[in-house]
Amino acid sequence: MLIWLKNYRRDLLAGDIGAGIIVAMMLIPQGMAYAIVAGLPPVTGLYASILPPIAYALFGSSMVQSVGPMAITSLMISTSLAPLAPPGSALSVVLAAQMALIAGALLFVSGIFRLGFVASFLSRPVMSGFTTGAALLITGGQLEPLVGGPLAAMHGPSTIIGLTSLLALWLAKQYLSKGLSALGLSTRLAETLAKLAPVFVLVVATTAVALLDLTQVGVKIVGEIPAGMPAITLLVSGEHWRPLFMPALLIAFMIFLSSQAAAQSLAHRRGERIITNHELLGLGAANLASAVSGGFPVTGSISRSAVNYTAGANTPLASVISAALIVLALSVPTSWVSWLPLPALAATIILAVLGMIDFSTLKDSWRYDRGDAAALLATTAGVLLVGVEQGVILGVVLSLATVIWRASRPHIAVIGRIPGSEHFRNVERHQVETLSDVLAVRVDADLFFGNVDAVVSHLELLLKARTAAHRPTRHVLLVMSAVSLIDTTGLYALREINDSLRAEQITLHLAEVKGPVMDRLQHSDLVGKQLSGQIFLSTADAFRALQGEDSWSI
């Protein structure tokens, strides 16, 4: 915490100042846009961009993470608050801050108790499916603001502003960076300026609406934005703790996952290490700060963090500078912001969230693992058809179910010796030597209650197949090189295998038992008493012994 400040060097200041200015320019329109997505007054998005990045700088471990409003969490807030309070009402503001309080407390306590391992509960394909579904939902929700009304009755001037803004943003995204580079600008500067295209588009649209007074013909605008800093207070609704808890828990989970993804990707580029539990503390502190300053749940933004890094940020001071500039923007007359047209703002939201749609992960998972692809598609469908919160729960359940399903079906290989060596491989993949009366089996998983039945059943099938092929079996060798754990159920299963094989006059041997596993087995009566055969140091030793040669055994 604050190590970056103690070791701060003056040569880093210029980069942090430049990045802070650029990110602040992005945060002002983005903050208001994502507040609208959350069903809150636009100014709450600015309030959520002041204290949270400062609080994160005190506790977080990423040097370039940009913390503030984000599209996915804004959508989750909107769906959670819709049944509890009218959008934009005073109660919705209180409940959004209350959700930030709950989420922040959960994240901070999780950091104290070092619960960062929960990040592994959601796989990459499921996370991709969730973000894709959320992006499609947000896009659908912004179509009416884009055209000024229902699609069947589009408002002409609003549609022109919205579609023109959308086209300009798309052209800027596709060609502006290349065009600026062709004019002689450095690639880094060209990319940074291209990221600021939404700011320029909104400035032009706002200017046009103000000069032409297009509100008189029905173009909707943001409206009055109160000037000044938010009041530092904590308003909560006592009757809403229970209905807010589960949505806030899911939002906290999503805050951590999305922030972790952004922080890790940029840390790899900078050769730094992210401390997961410090991230929990930083994100918790950021949300607690948002709760007391009239904001709503915030998270690390992948896009803004990337811009922060590209613009030259070296430390969290860049985010502190961004927050200071937003304070400055709220301290001067804000009447100019009130003319911001909602169709242009909707265009910036649509183009931003469409970039979250991830076809590459679907394509890769479809080719590599159809199970992961099915989980991705199911999560996307769940978000679109059932709801955002249900989509998150479905994603977690699918991730855990996939792990359990795979663990319950371990890979089991019959192995033999590569001729002229002491290497043993799968008989179905390599040309190997085997012993006629020995069934050598390698179990490529831990033995625990979830998979021992599958292991026993597979072993029985192998023995039946040898009998049917008139290959008598005198010895079964279990190679345990991939087994790191045998629980009590696994121990009983080994006993049952040993007893059933003994009844058929077949000897059970073990090989390559790992030290920790052997330590636990020695506390049982399997070793030295019940086991009908021997425990060998290596598979090669076992093969030599079963051929009648000298060998080492335990």
Q: Cα-atom radius of gyration of the chain, to the nearest Å?
A: 30
* Res. 53: pLDDT tops 50: yes
* Res. 552: pLDDT tops 50: no
Together in a domain, 358 and 468:
no
**Does residue 36 belong to any structural domain of this protein?**
yes
**Which of 404, 425, 446 corresponds to the end of one domain?**
404
Query: If you average pLDDT over residues 458-462, what whole number do you get?
Result: 95
**Which of 388, 404, 420 corresponds to the end of one domain?**
404
* Res. 197: pLDDT tops 60: yes
CA distances from 165 to 28, 162, 190, 197 (A): 17, 5, 20, 10
Give the span between the Cα atoms of 201 and 165, in whole angstroms: 6
Tell me the pLDDT tens digit for each residue of 494-510: 999 999 999 999 999 99
Give the span between the Cα atoms of 178 and 58, in whole angstroms: 38
Q: What integer pLDDT is reported at residue 120 of this predicted model?
A: 66
**Does residue 551 belong to any structural domain of this protein?**
no
C-alpha neighbours within 13 Å on the C-beta side of residue 141:
22
Q: What integer pLDDT is reported at residue 519 of this predicted model?
A: 92
Give the span between the Cα atoms of 309 and 26, in whole angstroms: 14
Q: What integer pLDDT is reported at residue 405 of this predicted model?
A: 86
High-pLDDT (> 70) share of the chain, %: 96
Beta strands in 51-164 (DSSP E): 67-68
What's the domain count of the chain?
Answer: 2
Conformational region of residue 184, where left means phi above 0, alpha means psi within -120 to 50, and beta covers everything else? left
Comparing 355 with 326, the larger pLDDT belongs to: 326
- Strand order through the sheet with 412-417: 424-426, 412-417, 438-443, 475-479, 507-511, 535-536
Together in a domain, 211 and 288:
yes
- Provide the CATH number for the domain around residue 495: 3.30.750.24
Query: If you average pLDDT over residues 462-475, what whole number do you get?
Result: 93
Together in a domain, 136 and 77:
yes
How many other CB atoms sit within 10 Å of the CB of residue 331? 11
| Confidence class for position 528, pLDDT limits 50, 70, 90 | confident
Which domain range does residue 453 map to?
412-546
Q: What integer pLDDT is reported at residue 2 of this predicted model?
A: 58
Q: What integer pLDDT is reported at residue 173 of this predicted model?
A: 87
Return the HEC string of 437-468: CEEEEEECCCECCCCHHHHHHHHHHHHHHHHH
CA distances from 31 to 20, 71, 356 (A): 15, 10, 18
What pTM was estimated for this model as a whole? 0.76
**Which of 373, 404, 435 corresponds to the end of one domain?**
404
The secondary structure of residue 292, as a DSSP letter, is T
Highest mean pLDDT among 162-171, 196-205, 306-315: 162-171
Average pLDDT of the chain to the nearest whole number: 89
Residue recorded with tokens 């408002």: 155
C-alpha neighbours within 13 Å on the C-beta side of residue 233:
7
**Does residue 176 belong to any structural domain of this protein?**
yes
Of 64, 67, 62, 54, the residue nearest 15 (C-alpha) = 64
Together in a domain, 253 and 383:
yes
Report whether 476 contacts 459 (CB < 8 A). yes
Q: What integer pLDDT is reported at residue 196 of this predicted model?
A: 81
Together in a domain, 254 and 399:
yes
Query: If you average pLDDT over residues 429-455, what whole number do you get?
Result: 93
Together in a domain, 215 and 273:
yes
**Does residue 3 belong to any structural domain of this protein?**
no
* Res. 240: pLDDT tops 80: yes
**Does residue 502 belong to any structural domain of this protein?**
yes
